[in-house]
Every structure is written in C-alpha cells, then in structure tokens.
Amino acid sequence: MNQRRFRTRAVHSGQQPDPHTGAHVTPIYQTSTFAYGSFERGRRLFAGDEPGYLYSRLGNPTTRALEEKLADLEEAEEALAFASGMAAISAVTLSLLKPGDEVAFIGPLYGGTEGLFFDILTRLGVLISESVSVAELSEKLSMATRLIFVETPTNPTLRIVDLAEVSALAKARGILSVADNTFATPYLTQPLKYGFDLVIHSATKYLGGHGDAIGGLVAGRAELLEQLRSEGLRHLGGSLGPAESYLFLRGLKTLALRMEAHCDGAERVAQALAQHPLVSQVYYPGLISHPEHALATRQMRRYGGMVALELRGGEAQAKRFLDSLKLFTQAVSLGDVESLATHPASTTHQLLSEALRRKQGVTEGLVRLSIGIEDPEDLVEDLLQALNALEVLEPAASR
Ligand SMILES: Cc1ncc(COP(=O)(O)O)c(C=O)c1O
C-alpha cells in the first residue's frame, strides 16, 4: 500500500510520465479504438491472454489513470470509471443482482438512486426494502437480502450512517455492502476501511469539483470489480470518455485543499444559520445538536461541505428564500467550487411519493446548500440577507 499522505497521493497516484512522449501530465487519449497490429495479437487481446487496450468502452489509458488514482485514494484493490454516478449505480445493481434478490437501503438516498430501485429494479423482479436507521434495516433483513446500500452523510438530510455497524451486519449474513461516498469523498471517510465491499461516487460532485463534467466511479475488491468490468461496462456500456477522465484526474489533485475550504465554509454557515429565528432546524453533522455528531466525529475527518436547513413556513418560505439568494446559484448538483442551493422536495426528490418523502424527512421547508470555496463571510452575508427578505415578507404570507 502507498504509505504517502493523502494530499501527496491525490497529486501523484495514477500518474506517470507518458511512455511515448514523456508528457508530465496524463494526456487525453481521444480515441475510440486501438490498433492491435497483427491478427495474432488481436486474438490474444480479445482472449485476455495479453494486457492492452482494445476499444475505449472497455478501457482507455486516460480513464485508467483516473481509476488508479481513485483506487489509491479509497485504499481499494481496484476502481472502475463510468459515464455518470447513476451509470455506476445501475451497473453495480444490474451486474450483481438477479430476480428474487433484495436490496435493503437506509434512506433518504439521492432521488435518482431511489428511482432506479423502485422503478427499474422492481420491474426486473428485485425486491426493495427501505429503512431510515440501522436498527430498522437490521430488523428488515431477510434471506433474500443480497445487497445493502447506504449514503453517508445522507442526501439531503445529512444523517450519518454507522459504517462499522452496517458492514458487521452485512458480513454476518454474507450480504454485499455498498456505500455511496459522494458527499464525504475519500478525504473525509473511507467506507472500505470499515469493511464495505464497494464504494460508489458521483464524480460529478467533489471529485471533479468544478461543475464541468459528469462521471461516476466504483472502487472495492478486485473480484467484484472484475465482474463489473465484464458485465457492467462491457455489456451495459456506460463508460467514461477520456476528456472527462482528464477533468476528474485534474480535479482530484486538489481534492484535499478544496474539501478543507468546503468544510471551513460549511461550519461557519451552519453556526450562523442555527442562530436565526426563521430557521427551525439546521442539519450539519458538525453541530453538537446533530443527532449523530459523535459518530460523525469518529467516522469523518471533518464534517463536509453540505448543510441543510428547515425554514419555518414550508415551501412558500423556501421559495422566497431561494429566489432572494444572490451569491448562491439555484441549481441541483453539489461539490462545485461555487455555492449552490436547491429545494429537494421540488427537484431531486420530486418523484418520490409524498409518504416516503415525509418519512425520510424531505419536507417542504427543507433547503439544501452546497457550500463552495468562496469566503465564508460572503456566504453568510448572502444567506442572512435572503433570510431578512423573509422577515419582511412573512406578515403578508401569514395573512
Ligand atoms: C449522492 C449521489 N449519488 C449519486 C448521484 C448521481 O450522480 P450523477 O448525477 O453523476 O449521475 C448524485 C447526484 O446528485 C448524488 O447526489
């Protein structure tokens, strides 16, 4: 295992001077196919008797450098890149599950993931079991449970799932455990260290960091990744292109620096919001009031860049608040250097049933903030001026 520290590995892992030109930065191998040179070499490559690139859906040198870097940062045996976070999640579930198997998850998850589970996997005969805590999950596990899926912190309510507890439950029953580590990134939490089998990322978010590329990554045990490569990539085909791979390689080099700045800003914002009378609740694992603050302190290096707040007055207040923000951009996604704000109930989690949204705490007054790397004081000023706009409007709203 690479003994160097995270920041050093983020810069150097997966990157060697280009063997042909000496290029210091991994070039973009913008090619769909690779000449195999001779009839016999083609046969050997296709049979897997000789390593080498064949076709960019199956592998590409720029993408391979990204996979090696992420594998090192997650301390995984292997990693594989996909065209999006959802391509990664669908490849994992479609490659590893069969009809009659059950997926047990702790919600809320990203709305697209729950959509895949409830709309597509159920149609293919896979059973879905939803819980909101490890205790509920543990009670609901059955002989059919084949895969446990968690996010930590959860999207958008920022609850923390005890990874050691979930992985022990899974191991005791021979169930695969999968963690979507998009919110934490390997800089803050490494689920594989707690015994998880696979880690998934929407690389679109913090790993890329600049809001300019869509991608996904999976890391974990080599034998599972091999199955994913042969079925999830080869047959399902959601491969990441070399240009995007280059952007993620570049983004990852500054992951630690950006995460420190995201965490600085989020801590400051969470504290400022917690004192405001129109905010009934702030969800941030770094606040002592957070129900899993102690667990977050054990499991995470810092508390992350995402903050959610509950506004008194439901959707009407959330709408006014979001429309009054000047520095924050109203947009889905997260993990960009720019701060973003969204209303999950009407966007990312819109398609979930109302009952499920209510159970998972995705309420009408909930606003999710992705804290960028701007000066935290400018962010606090913007949020406070938007909250002040509410105070002016509130008497009219209650008439
Ligand atoms: C936690 C989480 N997982 C997965 C995804 C899906 O990733 P992508 O948009 O790259 O497909 C998202 C997107 O917002 C997410 O927030």
**Mean pLDDT in residue range 215-225:** 97
Between the CA atoms of 336, 372, 194 and 219, what dihedral angle is there, to the nearest 10 degrees?
10
Pocket of ligand 1 contains residue 360 by CB under 6 Å: no
Q: Which residue has the tokens 């608040």?
A: 321
Say which CATH number the domain at 207 has.
Answer: 3.40.640.10
pLDDT per position as a tens digit, 63-86: 999 999 999 999 999 999 999 999
Question: Both 135 and 265 in a single domain?
Answer: no
Residue 394 predicted with pLDDT over 60: no
Output the pLDDT for position 399: 37
Task: Tell me the pLDDT tens digit for each residue of 184-202.
Answer: 999 999 999 999 999 999 9
Q: How many domains does the chain have?
A: 2
Q: Who wins on pLDDT, 212 or 350?
A: 212
- Mean pLDDT over the full length of the chain: 95
Residue where one domain finishes, among candidates 226, 253, 280: 253
Q: Please give the Cα distance from 190 to 37 (Å, whole number).
A: 42
Parent domain of 18: 6-253
Residue ranges in the chain assigned as alpha helix (H): 6-12, 39-47, 61-73, 85-96, 111-115, 134-140, 163-172, 185-188, 222-227, 242-253, 255-274, 293-299, 314-324, 354-360, 376-398
Q: Tell me: do 243 and 268 sit in the same domain.
A: no
- 362 pLDDT tier (thresholds 50, 70, 90): confident
Separation of CA 227 from chain center: 22
Kindly give the distance from the C-alpha atom of residue 32 to the centroid of ligand 1, in angstroms, as a whole number.
26
* pLDDT over threshold 90, residue 361: no
Residue 84 Cβ inside 6 Å of ligand 1? The answer reads yes
Is pLDDT of 354 > 90?
no
The share of the chain scoring above pLDDT 90, in percent, equals 89
Per-residue model confidence as pLDDT tens digits over 154-185? 989 999 999 999 999 999 999 999 999 999 99
Long-range contact set of residues 188-192: C-beta below 8 Å, sequence gap at least 24: 188/259, 188/263, 188/300, 188/301, 188/302, 188/303, 188/304, 189/152, 189/163, 189/299, 189/300, 189/301, 190/74, 190/75, 191/152, 191/163, 191/167, 192/74, 192/75, 192/76, 192/219, 192/220
Q: Which of 195, 221, 253 is the last residue of a domain?
A: 253
- pLDDT of residue 397 exceeding 80, the answer is no
Q: Point out the ligand 1 atom lying closest to the alpha carbon of residue 151.
A: 1
Catalytic residue among 205, 302, 320, 357: 205
Residues 6+ apart with CB under 8 A from 371: 262, 265, 266, 269, 305, 306, 307, 339, 379
105, pLDDT greater than 80: yes
Domain end point (choices 206, 234, 253): 253
Tell me if residue 205 is catalytic: yes
- Both 142 and 285 in a single domain? no
Interval 134-138 mean pLDDT: 97
**Residue 202 near ligand 1, beta carbon < 6 Å:** yes
Looking at the fold, whether 206 and 347 belong to one and the same domain comes out as no
Please indicate, yes or no, whether residues 182 and 239 belong to a single structural domain of this protein: yes
Confidence of residue 2 (pLDDT cuts 50, 70, 90): low
Do 375 and 234 share a structural domain? no
Residue 350 has pLDDT above 90, yes or no: no
Residue 33 lies in a domain: yes
Residue 317 located in a structural domain:
yes
Helix (H, G, I), strand (E, B) or coil at 86: helix
360 in the same domain as 223: no
Q: Is the pLDDT of residue 1 over 60?
A: no
Mean pLDDT of the 142-161 span: 95
- CA-closest residue to ligand 1 atom 7: 85
Kindly state whether residue 1 falls inside one of the protein's structural domains: no
* pLDDT value of residue 3: 83
CA of 300 to the centre of ligand 1 (A): 20
Q: Which of 40-54, 104-118, 151-165, 353-367 has the lowest mean pLDDT?
A: 353-367
The band of 396, judged by pLDDT with boundaries at 50, 70 and 90, is: very low
Please write the tens of the pLDDT for every residue from 284-301.
999 999 999 999 999 999
Q: Is the CB of 74 under 6 A from ligand 1?
A: no
Instruction: Find the CATH number of the domain harbouring 354.
Output: 3.90.1150.10
